Structure 1
Amino acid sequence: MATPGEALTSSSYIEHHLQHLSLAKLGVVAEGSFWNVHIDSLFFSVLTGVLFLWVFRSVAKKATTGVPSRLQCAVEMVVEFVGENVKDTFHGRNPLIAPLALTIFVWIILMNLMDLVPIDFLPYPAELVGIPYLKVVPTADVSITMSMALGVFALMIYYSIKVKGIGGFAKELALHPFNHPLMIPFNLLLETVSLLAKPISLGMRLFGNMFAGEVVFILCAAMLPWYLQWVGSLPWAIFHILVILIQAFVFMMLTIVYLSMAHEDSDH
């Protein structure tokens, strides 16, 4: 990793690496505008998504019943792992759930793995060609993680209404946990808060863990000379691999659980 030059102090180096390449930074929209977009987060999230689709499609096209390649074995292990978790957790019948869970699991792993790229490995050459800011970890951007969580939330609402009907969904909110007309206002308040907390916790958990990991790498690069940065970065990277995998697994499992709950009929 490159060292912060003499013109940059440790604090300014950290602040610089926490900035996104956004439309506001390019002067396209005003700072704080609703239309501001983090270009770097969108680019790397799309890039990792395309990589996932290309690899899995290529393996599927070249799959053989004979001696499989190492890549085919790895893909089959991931697919089987996700399939077993869906089978054990999801109690409805919906052909969308397994592909959705697989996509979420692998996509988040790939986005999280960007955190292992040395801090200055991509931003430094980008700056040489005129790109002033570049954050390469999409899941360290709350707009990306909350967008994914809101997508899961939309599916929860859609399948809740589709399976239970509008009346059944309304009864689930109004008559749970206390099945009495006088408790309807309290039930609505409690269930609405509980419902809204699901996507918030889903997105913020992933963002918080990945942002914290990114900050540790930035601190190692800012506070240590270049020849000693590995002393802090290497042990943290080894530990962070567990965080990368666990966070992808947790997001996938909670998605399956929430959609399974959406497919369950109300029992009031």
Structure 2
Amino acid sequence: MTQNLAASEIEIGQHLFRFELFGLTFNGDTLLASAVAAAVLIVLAFTLRAKITSGVPGGVQLFFETITGAVRQQVDNIIGLKIAPFVVPLAMSLFLYILVANWIAVLPVQIGGHDFIPPPASDANFTYALAILVFVWYHVAGARRRGAGRHAVQLVKGHVSFLAPINIVEELAKPISLSLRLFGNVFGGTIMVSLIMAMFPSYILWAPNVVWKLFDLFVGLIQAFIFSLLTILYFSQATELPEEHH
């Protein structure tokens, strides 16, 4: 009963450990998970660099080539590689980083029913940071292609001037929806893990946990794909010229 009550009182913002620095509060588990995800990608990148070949590719090279090819195809179809070639490395990096970060929770390391290395996207601060990064860079890309003044006018007025207030609200909502979509789906997974820990006795706990972890892999993949795809779409909207609309 105590376990069920504790599971039902899970709140957003709970973390295994925090620390203070320069008057700011840092979520230690989020920083740890983010660092682990980054380290995994760096190791994969150096492994790829050491083993890259023009012949038959190895597993790591094949993995990166598959992801790169898929992202290049999406960018080419939506924007065009000649217009925004720089979107490919950004979208690919975001996809891989979010994917690894989401899959961290599959590691069987738990404390009190919570993942010791939780997916960092279960912390809204992590998803806000990624969304702000995308928000800033697609506006920078739009200003470079259209010109700063023309981009600002197009951003506010769009194709119909009287819709300016709606356009502004829509633009401000993009990073919020982008971050909360990722956060909500991943945070829901962490709640399910806690509920499973509370609902089942320890001797059969592994069975439902394994099933949910496998489903979590799929959800993590889909959410990483959606985030990178929306990033490409936002760059497409920001770099589109009025004469290209028709």
Scaled to the shorter chain, the TM-score interval is: 0.7 to 0.9
> Structure 1 pair 201/16, CA: closer, same or farther in 2 (3 Å)?
closer
Residue 241 (structure 2) aligns with: 265
Are 1:12 and 2:12 counterparts?
no
**Of residues 33, 48, 51 in structure 2, which corresponds to 1:59?**
48
Residue 130 (structure 1) aligns with: none
Q: Percent identity?
A: 30
- Please report the TM-score for the alignment, with normalisation by the length of structure 1: 0.79
Q: Deviations over 1:86-130 (max 9, x none)?
A: 222223523321111111111111000022223xx2537xxxxxx
Are 1:123 and 2:118 counterparts?
no
Partner amino acid, structure 2, of 1:145: T
Residue 105 (structure 1) aligns with: 95
Unpaired runs of 5+ in structure 2? none
Map residues 7-46 of structure 1 onto 2, 5 A cutoff.
9-12=3-6, 19-23=14-18, 26=19, 28=20, 35-46=24-35
**Of residues 152, 155, 175 in structure 2, which corresponds to 1:170?**
152
Residue 138 (structure 1) aligns with: 120
Residue 142 (structure 2) aligns with: 160
Residue 189 (structure 2) aligns with: 213
Structure 1 CA distance for aligned equivalents of residues 190 and 225 of structure 2: 19
Residue 64 (structure 2) aligns with: 75
Are 1:224 and 2:200 counterparts?
yes
- Say which structure is richer in strand: 2
Residue 85 (structure 1) aligns with: 74
| 3-state SS of paired residue (1:9) | helix
Q: CA deviation at 1:162?
A: 1.9
| 3-state SS of paired residue (1:37) | strand
Contact 2:124 2:180 survives alignment (8 Å): yes
Structure 1 CA distance for aligned equivalents of residues 83 and 127 of structure 2: 27
Are 1:189 and 2:165 counterparts?
yes
Structure 2 CA distance for aligned equivalents of residues 82 and 174 of structure 1: 29
Contact 1:164 1:266 survives alignment (8 Å): no
Contact 1:115 1:213 survives alignment (8 Å): no
Partner amino acid, structure 2, of 1:195: E
Q: Deviations over 1:102-160 (max 9, x none)?
A: 11111111000022223xx2537xxxxxxxx9452101111001110010001122122
Map residues 222-261 of structure 1 onto 2, 5 A cutoff.
222-261=198-237
> Structure 1 pair 16/134, CA: closer, same or farther in 2 (3 Å)?
farther
Task: Point out the structure with max Rg over C-alpha.
Answer: 1
Contact 2:32 2:117 survives alignment (8 Å): no
Q: CA deviation at 1:60?
A: 2.4
Q: CA deviation at 1:13?
A: 6.1
Q: CA deviation at 1:252?
A: 0.4
Contact 1:220 1:232 survives alignment (8 Å): yes
Unpaired runs of 5+ in structure 1? 1-5, 125-132
Q: Deviations over 1:201-236 (max 9, x none)?
A: 111000000000111111101221111223422222
Q: CA deviation at 1:15?
A: 5.7
Structure 1 CA distance for aligned equivalents of residues 218 and 49 of structure 2: 28
> Structure 1 pair 29/46, CA: closer, same or farther in 2 (3 Å)?
closer
Q: Deviations over 1:14-35 (max 9, x none)?
A: 7689721454xx4x379xx8x2
- Please report the TM-score for the alignment, with normalisation by the length of structure 2: 0.86
Contact 1:112 1:139 survives alignment (8 Å): yes
> Structure 1 pair 234/253, CA: closer, same or farther in 2 (3 Å)?
same
- List structure 1 runs of 4+ shifted beyond 4 angstroms: 13-18
> Structure 1 pair 116/145, CA: closer, same or farther in 2 (3 Å)?
same
